[in-house]
């Protein structure tokens, strides 16, 4: 698609967005802090899953200054269950740099910890009206179909080319609304499977639809085979307390988080009672976690007792939360 048609379809896209977009909490503000928090949360996470975390996080930390003053443990506890915890740590680090003066230009936003090209463009365009194009997975899919481009979207060269196309298409008068409209189109209409082409506002300029290739695009050749992993967690309860261990600060994954022990951490484990099982997925790792209940006399170090009444304020891993819910223990 050339630049000229892009100017004409921008009007259609913006009209469609104004009438059809989802009513999401972060679309009711131009506050750069709140937009930044939403964009960080939305990285690799569905919008509907983000909503309760977004609302709870802003209630607890309504400004960047409030977030900067918080303890990391409290930030992680508020984020617990959303996954990819380096996002929360980077938010916390960046808030300490920002204070109450959130940067208003793209380059300064891009320098914040945990902020890449996508997030910087989103905040700059939505909060400040700056003409930077946002390219996420939804936008890549829309571009591939509108242009009927069968290049591998996992390849850096393709992504760079699609970024340039997005820049050409961007409506400089309404960059924030245009970016959100293009992402919304990919999220709600131009779906990976079974796209809703008959109601698409850009159907008349879609080359893939014209050539009946929508289902074949986009192309992503670099796929990682799923890995199935079996795991077991043990719930040891005594006098309103549960036995946990804490990941060390030097841990490469989720440092500072509390975890239920595995059987190998309890050498004197008596015959346990099976509570049930659940599934948990992290990228291409597919876990089937079995949950046991057991009693032990002398818990080995470094296991520690945590009061059940305090668990909701502690940074617990998602798998531990799921196991506790299976046992009907609030966490």
pLDDT at 131: 97
pLDDT at 100: 81
pLDDT at 53: 96
CA-CA-CA-CA dihedral for 277, 281, 287, 291, to nearest 10? -30
Q: How many domains does the chain have?
A: 2
pLDDT at 6: 57
pLDDT at 249: 81
The two tokens of residue 267 are: 């050498």
CA distances from 115 to 37, 61, 109, 112, 180 (A): 11, 19, 7, 6, 18
**Do 249 and 197 have their domain in common?**
no
Residue 117 reports pLDDT greater than 80: yes
pTM of the predicted structure, to 2 decimals: 0.82
Give a yes or no: residue 209 inside a domain.
yes
CA distances from 34 to 10, 39, 47, 208, 292 (A): 26, 9, 15, 37, 41
Rounded CA gap, 8 and 28, in Å? 27
- Mark which of 216, 236, 252 sits at the end of a domain: 216
Q: Which of 100-104, 121-125, 202-206, 245-249 has the highest mean pLDDT?
A: 121-125
The two tokens of residue 158 are: 């393709």
Given 39, 73, 227, 259, the catalytic residue: 39
Rounded CA gap, 295 and 318, in Å? 23
Average pLDDT of the chain, as a whole number:
93
The range of the structural domain enclosing residue 243 comes to 227-326
The residue behind tokens 């998602």 is 318
pLDDT at 3: 44
**Do 183 and 279 have their domain in common?**
no
The two tokens of residue 183 are: 């992402």
- Is 268 part of the annotated catalytic residue set? no
Give a yes or no: residue 222 inside a domain.
no
- % of the chain residues with pLDDT over 70: 98
pLDDT at 251: 79
Least-confidence region, from 122-126, 131-135, 299-303: 299-303
- Mark which of 182, 216, 250 sits at the end of a domain: 216
Reduce the DSSP state of residue 101 to 3 states and report it: coil
């Amino acid at each position: 698609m050339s630049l000229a048609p892009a100017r004409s379809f921008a009007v259609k896209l913006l009209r469609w967005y104004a009438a059809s977009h989802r009513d999401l909490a972060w679309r009711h503000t131009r506050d750069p802090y709140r937009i930044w928090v939403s964009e960080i949360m939305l990285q690799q996470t569905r919008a509907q899953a983000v909503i309760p975390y977004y609302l709870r996080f802003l209630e607890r930390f309504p400004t960047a200054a409030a977030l900067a003053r918080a303890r990391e443990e409290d930030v992680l506890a508020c984020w617990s269950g959303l996954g990819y915890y380096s996002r929360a740590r980077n938010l916390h680090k960046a808030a300490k740099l920002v204070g109450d003066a959130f940067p208003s230009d793209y380059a300064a936003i891009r320098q914040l910890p945990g902020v890449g090209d996508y997030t910087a463009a989103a905040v700059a365009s939505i909060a400040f009206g700056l003409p930077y194009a946002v390219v996420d997975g939804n936008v890549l899919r829309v571009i591939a179909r509108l242009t009927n481009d069968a290049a591998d979207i996992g390849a850096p060269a393709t992504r760079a080319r699609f970024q340039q196309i997005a820049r050409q298409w961007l409506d400089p008068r309404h960059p924030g609304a245009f970016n959100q409209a293009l992402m919304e189109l990919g999220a709600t209409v131009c779906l990976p499977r079974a796209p809703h082409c008959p109601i698409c506002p850009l159907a008349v300029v879609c080359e893939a639809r014209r050539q009946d290739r929508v289902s074949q695009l986009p192309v992503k050749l670099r796929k990682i085979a799923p890995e199935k992993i079996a795991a077991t967690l043990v719930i040891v309860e005594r006098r309103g307390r549960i036995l946990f261990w804490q990941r060390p600060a030097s841990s490469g994954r989720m440092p500072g988080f509390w975890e239920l022990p595995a059987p190998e951490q309890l050498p004197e484990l008596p015959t346990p009672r099976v509570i049930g099982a659940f599934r948990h997925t992290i990228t291409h790792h597919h876990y089937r976690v079995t949950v046991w209940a057991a009693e032990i006399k002398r818990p080995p170090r470094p296991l520690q007792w945590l009061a059940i009444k305090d668990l909701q304020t502690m940074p617990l891993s998602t798998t531990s939360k799921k196991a506790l819910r299976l046992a009907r223990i609030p966490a």
